[in-house]
Structure 1
Amino acid sequence: MGLIGAKLDIDFIISTGDNFYDSGLTGENDPAFEESFTNIYTAPSLQKQWYSVLGNHDYRGNALAQLSPFLREKDSKWLCLRSFIVNAAETVDFFFVDTTPFQDKYFSDPDQNYDWRGVLPREKYLTDVLKDLDLALKESTSNWKIVVGHHTIKSAGSHGETLELVQKLLPILQANNVDLYINGHDHCLEHITSSDSPLHFVTSGGGSKAWRGEYHWMHDPNEVKFYYDGQGFISLEITESEIVIFFYDIDGIVLHKFNVVKPLHAVL
């Protein structure tokens, strides 16, 4: 990852959640922050800004700790927020969405405790997230709109589709002509298209616990363009008129590549 980062001269890095396994951080001084982040991503090319969202495993610990400015003081490249926007350039906006509170099962799981501080009352929180996202997408003048969340919308992996996101989030993405939805959650790499929309679904969850040997896809088989049940990562190269997405294994070998092209906004 560090070698590819240097080769591409990357601008920033995105983490799709489940930042600290298995149950997030215990607090701001949890040594897991250094052990699983600062002391791992030491390559010079990775000393750029990291943008992270919370995953369901992060909510099993002290979720507020990951959002704390104190961690940014410890390691300036760390930035984790619930939902936020990164105006990466005039041509592209990234919209990060806190997807864990959408899943009903986490609120009735008898085996796990979740840190819902700042989320309750849940319905108001979800309404605000969707309203703010819809407004931000409508106000965006960028040629490219990319949404990042932890949970899958479409996936052939072990978790499959997240029904709540299909019902509540997907219509907003489609109505606002979002180009890519990038997620983690399933421990694989995959590229899925949709027969009813130009939206591409990209899973980049190959950071750990891969090689599960599971594949579940009950829809049009032609929609699954790539599936890799192993560890790896992706990169995006973005220009005004094209996005090129590369999928790599842990040795930096390209496993899959695709591009999305569109005309520039008309100038009136």
Structure 2
Amino acid sequence: MAIPLKKSMALSLLFLISFVLVGVLSVSAELQRFQHHAKGDGSLSFLVLGDWGRRGDFNQSQVAFQMGKMGEKVDIDFIVSTGDNFYDNGLVNEHDIAFEESFTKIYTAKSLQKQWYSVLGNHDYRGDAEAQLSPLLRKIDSRWLCLRSFVVNAEIAEIFFVDTTPFVEMYFSEPEGHTYDWRGINSRKAYIANLLKDVELAVRESSAKWKIVVGHHAIKSVGHHGDTQELIDQLLPILQANDVDFYMNGHDHCLEHISDKESQVQFLTSGAGSKAWRGDIKGLNKEGLNFFYDGQGFMSVNLTPTDAEIAFYDVFGKVLHRLNKSKLLHSSI
């Protein structure tokens, strides 16, 4: 029996809507969750490093040495990598020897034999981005865990790792001769929309004492790249509306601390793991700027249920700047 025209059109429309919905869901960046226990006294300590993988060159090995000393001193629980893990163009594939030469053979201190939680940077996307997500790398070095976006529940803190590279329109419209690996991101618009939805839901529902968001690109920076307008427009409002304490990033090869004038969010750049850009700044008159250093180094984070102490170190292990924040009092900078 022939189906009436109106009914046929309705069925076709229903099929089209279903197809579109399936397509949208297929690019959803659902946030996978990992549990990492705090210490017995409820405290948590970790190091933050970015823009590092250069086979030990550009003082990468020296920064790693100081990280090992500080990691032992503060008894770290894990390490956070803010992306651009392997230079200049990520990994060739999951068998690329650069993984061991820039990671396993560099961060050899006993205190650094802890879990590493990593996001991808724009340089990682210039290679085989999915290689860094491969379980094979975890078999080569069990410390390694890199995903596009995910959440680490560390009891007193939840850390939300966000894949920021697809936000930057320039990488799609003006790649400047570079090739980016966009496999897994079939629709940039849908990918970003779903990621923002997932992040907003996760931070809104979080009951952790400390909410920390990690991405590769800076929201606010006086460094070489400066502010990332796409993140200011799309991600920052979510952080401001949901009591996020810290946004940590790399991308600019420096160390920075900038306060948000409209919320409690503190912008912390730790992208000085190897090559630094001496004197390459946008200007030091940015509102809310508390600290800027254009050399190599890293950052430590020590949390208790009521207090946070964050310190920035140079390549010699010298403390350059401290940020203290309390959940009972106003932040002290």
TM-score by length of 1: 0.95
Aligned residue identity for 2:310: I
Deviations 1:33-64 (A, max 9, x none): 00000000000000000000000000000000
Q: How far, CA to CA, are the matches of 1:134 and 1:244 in structure 2?
A: 26
Q: Match of 2:63? A: none
- Partner Cα distance (1:28, 1:137) in 2: 32
2:305 to 233, 236, 240: 240
Q: Note the alpha carbon deviations across 1:60-89, whole angstroms, 9 max, x for none.
A: 000000000010011000000000000012
Verify: 1:70 aligned to 2:101, yes or no: no
The 8 Å contact of residues 155 and 217 in structure 1, kept in 2 or not, is answered as no
Shift of 1:212: 2.7
Q: 2:292 aligns with which of 220, 227, 234?
A: 227
| Residue aligning to 1:163 | 229
Percent identity over the alignment is 63
Q: Does 1:256 align with 2:256?
A: no
Q: Secondary structure at the residue paired with 1:256?
A: strand
Q: Could you tell me how far apart the structure 2 residues matched to 1:166 and 1:257 are?
A: 25
Shift of 1:220: 4.5
Q: CA offsets, 1:9-32, max 9 Å, x none?
A: 100000000000000000010000
> 2:4 — aligned with what?
none
Does structure 2 conserve the Cα–Cα contact (< 8 Å) formed by 1:97 and 1:149? yes
Gaps of 5+ in 1: none
2:162 to 86, 89, 97: 97
Contact 1:188–1:228 under 8 Å retained in 2: yes
Q: CA deviation at 1:240?
A: 0.3
Distance change in 2, residues 1:251/1:170 (3 Å): same
CA distance, structure 2, for counterparts of residue 44 and residue 110 of structure 1: 41
> Higher relative CO (CA 8 A, sep ≥ 6), structure 1 or 2?
2
1:3-14 residue pairs with structure 2 within 5 A? 3-14=69-80
Choose from 53, 70, 82 the match for 2:119: 53
- Counterpart-to-counterpart distance in 1, 2:261 and 2:283: 14
C-alpha contact 1:158 1:186 (8 A) present in aligned 2: yes
Per-residue deviation, 1:215: 2.0
- What secondary structure, in the 3-state scheme, does the structure 2 residue paired with 1:79 have? strand
Q: In the TM superposition, what is the alpha-carbon distance from 1:260 to its structure 2 partner?
A: 1.1
Give the AA of the match of 1:252. G
Misfit runs of 4+, over 4 Å: 218-221
Report the equivalent of 1:43: 109
1:115: how far off?
Answer: 0.3
Give 1:153 shift: 0.3
Q: TM-score, normalised by structure 2?
A: 0.77
Larger Rg: 2
Match of 2:260 among 191, 194, 197: 194
Cα root mean square deviation, aligned: 1.2
Q: How far apart are residue 110 of structure 1 and its match?
A: 4.4
211-220 or 163-172: which moved more? Answer: 211-220
Unaligned runs of 5+ in 2: 1-66
What is the alpha-carbon distance in structure 1 between the residues aligned to residue 200 and residue 145 of structure 2?
23
Q: How far off its partner does 1:120 sit?
A: 1.8
Q: Could you tell me how far apart the structure 2 residues matched to 1:170 and 1:110 are?
A: 27
Secondary structure class of the residue paired with 1:124: helix
- Alignment match of 2:198 (pick from 125, 132, 153): 132
